[in-house]
Amino acid sequence: MIIKIIATGRLKEKFLKDGIEEFLKRLRPYANLEIIELTPVEIKDEHLISKALDEEAEKILSHIKPHSCVITLEINGKMLSSEEFAGKINTLTNEGTAEIVFVIGSSYGLSPVVSQRADFKMSLSKMTFLHQFARLLLIEQIYRAFKIIKGETYHK
42-67 pLDDT tens trace: 887 887 899 899 999 999 999 999 99
Q: How far is CA 5 from the centre of its chain?
A: 5
**Band of pLDDT at residue 41, cut at 50, 70 and 90:** confident
pTM confidence score: 0.95
54-110 pLDDT tens trace: 999 999 999 999 999 999 999 999 999 999 999 999 999 999 999 999 999 988 899
> Residue 6 pLDDT more than 80?
yes
110-153 pLDDT tens trace: 999 999 999 999 999 999 888 889 999 999 999 999 999 999 98
Is there a contact between 111 and 53 (Cβ–Cβ < 8 Å)?
yes
Is there a contact between 144 and 154 (Cβ–Cβ < 8 Å)?
yes
8-21 pLDDT tens trace: 988 989 999 999 99
Give the pLDDT confidence score for residue 128 in this predicted structure.
86
Q: Sheet of 32-38: strands edge to edge?
A: 32-38, 2-8, 99-104, 69-79, 120-123
* Residue-range domain boundaries for the chain: 2-41+50-149
Range list of H helices, 8-117: 14-27, 49-61, 82-94, 112-117
Q: Which CATH number fits domain 2-41+50-149: 3.40.50.2020, 3.40.1280.10, 3.30.360.10, 3.40.30.10?
A: 3.40.1280.10
